[in-house]
Structure formats: structure tokens, C-alpha cells
Structure 1
Amino acid sequence: MARRKVREMRRKERTLSEQLRETRERIARAKIRLASLNRKYSLVSRQLARTRSRVMQLRAKLSRHRSILAERLRQLYKHPPSDYVAFVMDAPDIEDAAIRTYAFQRIISHDEFLIETTQQAKEELEGQEAKLRYQQSQLASLREAIVEQTIELRDAESEQANLLRRVQTERETYERWLQEWEEESREIAALLRQLQSAQRNRPRPIPPWTGPFIRPVNGHIVSGFGYRVHPIFRRVKFHYGVDISSPSGTPIRAAADGVVVFSGWRRAYGKTVIVDHGNGLATLYAHCSRLLVSEGEVVKQGQVIALVGSTGLSTGPHLHFEVRHYGEPINPLAVR
């Protein structure tokens, strides 16, 4: 169960970094849109306030003009145009008649101006009221958009918090996984030193290794020897060998002649074979799906000793290949 969880964590961790990046970008975009909407909301609110003020002014102006027009209509009812004609005709002379005619024309012009300005005020008021309704509708739409954007922002922030909690949980799992690898590596180093020390005074069934090694499987090296940084947790981990990508079931061949000193299960390494080649050198083949040799067995270079798999703490079918010198890991690619 623990191994399955670790494998699942390793599969997920490849997407966590991208998910976090996308979520942070969503939050940044949502904040920009929200700020833009709030600025537009403030602008429309100010425009709406000005429009309301103008509508109030126009309504007051129109009310005054209508009152004046009503009074003029009452005056016309009391003094119809025929009275004005009689008023002009009753002038004592032509000069006075001209003055009375001019005065009468001024009254008519004023009435026409009053009617025209009243009509203009009415039309402007109608336009401003339509503008007011549009701005109110625009403001309502902006208010809805702000609410939606705020919800989206909160959802994105919640998603980010959940992702960060997942990262924290998986970081703890990863730390335990690293600790297990390191403990296993120390145990293997101690085992090899003990075996090699015990064999110094014993005759070997075959001569010690003199080189060169052959590659145990064909495939791409997907992870090299040495320090590497985890893509999410930024934890520096030492990789004790090389990982060679190869399909499950691919034959694994002994890199050189030697004696099998271990063939069995290791917690982190899964099904593992260790071959001692003499002169303090040993090779390790991990994550196998099947072991084909036993402890104490003499193997020849190129002999199939196991099959590629994904046992132990592994993310997929591959061979984890190590070379150890008196128990300490060395770069397999540097051994000739």
C-alpha cells in the first residue's frame, strides 16, 4: 500500500507544479479583471451621479417653464389676440401704433421662445432619463460581473490552498521516501563492505573484474548519477546510480563476470540483484519484475540475471543501475 501511494505521488507531482502555476496565473488575471471592473464601476457611478443631477435640474427647469406657459395661457384666455388688435387700432397716431405693434411682436416672440425652450428642455430631459436608465443597467451588469469575478477569485484562491496542502502532504511523503532510499543505500554499502571484507582471505570462484563493463539494458538514461533538485519541493537528492528507461520484461544482463551476493527484495529498490566483481567493485540492478539468479551463483558478462520492472519506489518500468566501490556509489558512466 505504501509503495502504491508513493508511486501515485510521483505520478501526480509531475502535474502539481503546472497546476500551481496555472492557478497563480488565474488568480493574477482575476485580480486584474476585478480591479478593472471596480474602476469602471466607479467611473459609471460618477457618471450616473452627474446624470441624476442633470435630470433633477432639467425637471426643475421644465416645471418652471410649464408654470410660466400655464400663466401665459391664462392671460391669453383673459385677453385673446383680438384685444391686442383693438389695442393697436386704438392708438392715437401712427407712431404710437408702431410702438404698440412692436410691443405686441415682442410678446409673441417671447411666447415662441418660451415654447421652444420648454420643448428643448423636455427633449433633453427625455434623453437624460434614457441615459440614466442605461447607466443604471450598466451599473447593475458591472455589479453582477464584480460578484462573479469575486467568486472566481475566491475559487481560484481556494484551489491554490488545496494544491498547497497537497504539496505539503506529498512533500512529507517524499521526505519519508528519501529517508528510506538513504537508509537502504547505507545498508547496501555496509552489506557490501562486510561481504568484501569477508572474502579477502577466501579464494574467488572466478578471477576479479578487469573491465570493461557492458550496458545491462538498451534504452535512454532518464536520470543520471549525482545530485538533482526535485521540481516542486526544491529538495536536493543524491541519485546513487543511473535510471535507464526500458519496457517491462526486458532482459537485464550482467555488466561483467561476478558472483551474486544478493538476490531479493529491498524496500526502496524493490526486487534487486547485486553482483560482486572483485577488486571492491559491485553492480546493483533494481526495480526488477523478476529475478533469475540466486545468491552465490556465478554469472558471466551478458548473462540474463533479471527482467525490467517497476517494483519498490518506482514511477514506471526502468532499470536503476548502480556501481559501488567498497560499498560507496560511483558514477556508472565513468567506469571503463
Structure 2
Amino acid sequence: MKTARTACFLLAIALFLASAGPLPGASGLDSRIAQEEARMRILEKQISEHQKRAKQMGEKEKGVLTQLNSLDQKKKVTEQRIRVLELKLEKVKNTISNLRAEVRLTEQELAEMMHVFENRLVDIYKYGGVAEFNLLLSSTTAHEAMETSYLLNRIALQDQAMISGMLEKKDRLLQAAAQMEQQEKELAVNTSHLGKERKTFREEINKSNAFLGQVRQERALHEQAVKELQQSQKEIQQTVTALMRKKRDEESRDRGRSAQYTYLPSGGQLSWPVQGQISSTFGTRVHPVFKTKMMHTGIDIRAPRGTPVRAAGPGEVLFAGWLRGYGQVIIIDHGNNLSSVYAHLSSMSVRESAAVKKGQTIGSVGSTGTATGAHLHFEVRVGGDARDPMRYLRK
């Protein structure tokens, strides 16, 4: 009976091992890591394209807006890298925690099994092979004796396989945990390194702010900064005009393309891209950074950093990238020669040529470019010319 009970116990353990699944995964984290890595690649590509355009346009390397733009871009790339590393670090910690829990469980199971086998060894010492021999002698037929012999052999093999398997599993899990710990150390080093880089970039931004203070005091630098800002306003107008012309030319060659997108009906109103207080209206104003009267080609809507920015109307993304002075910018074509501009974004969630629906999230509020704080700079343009957005937004 004792041998039969042992066989049943061993069979149960074997079934347990066979049914044991893989360690808990982190598919959610894997998905987030993949998304953030994709955003990082897009960001790096957008910055590279902006730098190429700047070089082609002959922007001065020491220009005020150019320096601010460079600092913004370095900061955004570094923040994105840190975001990816933090997610990877979180994944490693979760994996290590799961592995250690599995090791503890395996050790407990092994201890219980060893206790069973110790009792069996005591029985073997007391009775030797008498019990098994009696079991064989009690067989009434040769076939029954063969079955009993086969069962006893399976029990012995199962004993050996069980101990070996559990020891191998324990060693394998310990090795995996050690590897994960090493990865965690490496990620911690990388995260620390990038944290130092962020600190360096913050110091550079502080230097830039000090430089802006110098710009306000020195006439030559002040005039240069104002000239650059005025030029950046012309650049965005030229960008919108050129992109819309290119798109119309493509549509004329491919008549079916225009049907792929839903545009704002003629005379239709736009919805508010973000809810918040208007801190600066359309028209002539004193620039908050350069303290000079200049034309403000849109409205500024104050909102917390990271607040979702939504498409003011249906259309197609004409541009998603960086523009000098405006930081991260999205331009949407709403049809009928109407377009909207969303500037100073902290992140962008749409790509160029993508169709967007009214109210769809396209990015988030930030302060990239020449901005004194988190807000959305929103413009409405007709044929590239800036118009007062309040005339188009729903009351």
C-alpha cells in the first residue's frame, strides 16, 4: 500500500510539472516599450529633417531661436530615451520578482519531496526490499507480476527524474534571476547616465535664459532675435502655402485621393483644440520673451503640460515636426483652403499624411520653441494667411 501511495504521489507531481506554464510575462510593458521606442525613432527623424531644412535655408548656427531649438530637441530626445529606459527597468524588476517567487516555490516543493523520500529511505532501511518482493509474490499471474514489476521500475525512475528535474529547474531559475539582476544594474547605470545628461541640458537651458536676458539688454542681439522671430513667422506661412500647393497638385494628378479624407464643409466651424484660458489673442502684442511689439498670428490657450490637444476639425495632417520658434508643430488641412496650426507641443501622436477626425487627440500641450510656459499656440490659416481663430471657433 505504501508503494502504491508513493506511486500516486509521484504521478501527481509529474502532472504538476508537466502542466507548469511559463513565468508570468509583461506583455503590457512590452507594448508600451515598443510604443515609446517608436516615438523616439519618429522624434529623432523629425529633428534630423528639421536640421536639414535649417541647413538648406542657411540659418545661422549662433542665432537665438536656433540655439533654443537645439536645446529643446536635445531635451526631448533625452527625455524620450529616459522614458524607454524606465519602462525597461520596470519590466526587469517585475521579471526578477516573478523569478524569485518561482525559486522560493520550487525550493518549497523540493523540500516537501525530499521529506517524502527521506521517509521512504527509512522504510527501505527497516524493511529492505521485502515489501516490493512480497508485492511481486502476491501476484496471481505472470502478467500481473510483469505489470507490478513495471510499476515498481517506473516509481524508481520517477524518483530520480523528479529530483533531477527540480534541481535543474531551481538552477535554471537562479541563473535567470542573476541575469536579470545584471540587466537591472546595466539599466540603472544607463538611466543614471541619461539623468546626468538631462541635468546638463537643464544647465544649458539656464544658460540660454541668461542669454535671453542679455538679448533684451543689448540692442544688436535684441534686433537679431526679433528679426529671427519675424522670419520664423514667414517660414510657417511659406510652409503652409507650399504644403497645400503640393497636396493640391497631387490631388489633381490623382482625382481619387481627395475622396479618401473627410474635410470641413465650406463655412463650417472649428471646435476648440483644448480647454483653457486665452492668455494672448490674435493681433499686435508685446512678445512675452523679446518684449517687442510684434504680430501674433494666433491665440495662446493656457493649459497644464501634457493636456491632450485635439484636432479642431476633420482633415489631413500636412506637417508634423519642428519649426524654428514654434517648437513641435502639427498642421492640418481641413479642405476649402483652410488649415489649422498647433504649436509648442510636448509630444505628437499623428504622422504626416494621416487622416484625422474632429476631436481626435493629435498631441499634448507643452512649451517647446520660444514659449514662457505650457500653452497651446493655435492658428487658423486661409491659403497660408493667418486669420483670427476666434472667427472660426465655436462660441
TM-score scaled to structure 2, two decimals? 0.42
Highest Rg: 1 or 2?
1
